[in-house]
Each structure stands twice: as structure tokens, then as C-alpha cells.
A and B are shown apart, each in its own frame.
Chain A
Amino acid sequence: DTEVTQTPKHLVMGMTNKKSLKCEQHMGHRAMYWYKQKAKKPPELMFVYSYEKLSINESVPSRFSPECPNSSLLNLHLHALQPEDSALYLCASRQGSGKPGANVLTFGAGSRLTVL
């Protein structure tokens, strides 16, 4: 298995809803990432988990809450979002540091979020 799987592919939610995005990989990767991508822009880093611990939070608003239940799963919990949070949310993973290919990120296909 060489994929990062993201669900759902599309999500529409109101500003008062609570929803979650899910990311899964079975490549034994030990670092997992959330990126946000607006149309015609490069991805922007949001969070990094390394060995299931949060190692980077790029000053993301608290209405986005990441969770890493185990080394294969990464969630992004969404609550009280704003319309400007509408974007493509990309998950990525990579090998642990010191292993071959440790600097290569493998991306999922993304979850397209629309906030009404």
C-alpha cells in the first residue's frame, strides 16, 4: 500500500456544524501533515505530527483541532468554521527521520471543504 487515503472527498458544512476530516496511511510512515490549499495557490502547512506527537502548529486558529490516534491515522476536527476556511485540505506523510526516503512527502487526494 503506497497511498494516503483521505475521507470524505467533499464536505459541505454550516458555520455552526462540527465535522471531521480523516487521513489514513499504511506505509509505516511516522510523520503526518495537514496542509490547506486555496485555489491557484501552493499548499500551506497547518500541522505536523511526528511519532504521534504534535510537533508543529503553524498558528492555526483553534477552530481546527488535529488528532493523531495512532501512527496510521490523522484527523482534523472542524468546529465553527468561517466561509474563508473553504479550501482543499491535504494530508501527507513521510518516513521517520533517518530512514530512506525520509524527506519525501506522499500526499493524499485531498478533502474539498465548503463552508456556507
Chain B
Amino acid sequence: GNSVTQMEGPVTLSEEAFLTINCTYTATGYPSLFWYVQYPGEGLQLLLKATKADDKGSNKGFEATYRKETTSFHLEKGSVQVSDSAVYFCALSDTYGNNRLAFGKGNQVVVIP
């Protein structure tokens, strides 16, 4: 079945540092890929998405490119702010029926001033 793997462990970095969170997936067919962000005490917000190979999703300075050859969708931001501190979930959706979302385990990102 479909699955998503995110790198283990929290990510702690200083303000203005470069952020990368790795995400790889296993899926049949042609899934859509997403990054969701969850700020403390809140629900999930869609950060960006890509629906086909080589698509680049971008929002709020974050980017991720749908790489079918490496089955990856890594999240990057060139210069993080304290306000980017949150949990980031990579997810994929199949293209059939109920569009089930398969989530990765999530990565806690802590940005230190």
C-alpha cells in the first residue's frame, strides 16, 4: 500500500538557517503529494502540494519538487524564521475513490532566535 517516510527526529536550527526535511514515498499509480504544517495547538494547514512528476509546490518561502525517479518530495526553505517553528507532515493522496491521505510521522522544527 501507499506509505510515506520522513527523516527521524526533531530539527533544531537557528534563525535564517537553511531548512531541509526529507520525505520519500511508496505508492502505486500517480499520487498527489503534500506538505501540511501544524502550529502548536492548531489543526493541519496545507503548506504546498504537487500533483504530478516534476511539479514544484511553493508557499511562504517553502518549496518541494515531486521527484518520481527518486520517489521523493523534500521540503526546503532558504531562511527560516522563529515563526516557522511547527510540526511538518509529508503526505500523499491516491487518485482513486476517497483520496485517502497517507501521512509521514512528522518532524518537529524548532527555530531558535
Contact = CB atoms under 8 A, between A and B. Distances in A.
Interface of A: 4, 6, 31, 40-43, 45, 48, 50, 55-56, 88, 90, 92, 94, 97, 102-110
A42 B104 contact: yes
B33 to A, nearest CB: 10
Interface in B33-64: 34, 36, 42-46, 49, 51
A8 B94 CA distance: 31
B104 to A, nearest CB: 7
Given A42-B89, A42-B104, A42-B106, A107 B44 contact: yes
Contacts of A105: 46, 93, 99, 101
Interface in B94-111: 95, 97-101, 103-106, 108
Given A42-B89, A42-B103, A104 B49 contact: yes
For the complex of A and B, the 4 pairs showing the least CB-CB separation, nearest first, are A42-B103, A107-B44, A109-B43, A107-B43
Contact of B43 (A31, A41, A45, A110): A110
Majority DSSP secondary structure for residues of B touching A = strand
Given A90-B43, A110-B42, A55 B98 contact: yes
B42 A102 contact: no
Interface string B11-48: 00000000000000000000010101000001111100
Nearest to B108: A40
Given A103-B51, A103-B93, A103-B95, A45 B42 contact: no
Nearest to B45: A107
Contacts of A41: 105-106
B100 A102 contact: no
Given A55-B98, A103-B51, A104-B49, A42 B43 contact: no
A33 B105 CA distance: 19
B32 A50 contact: no
A50 B98 contact: yes
Contacts of A43: 44, 101, 103
Contacts of B97: 55, 97
Contacts of A110: 42-43
Interface in B47-83: 49, 51
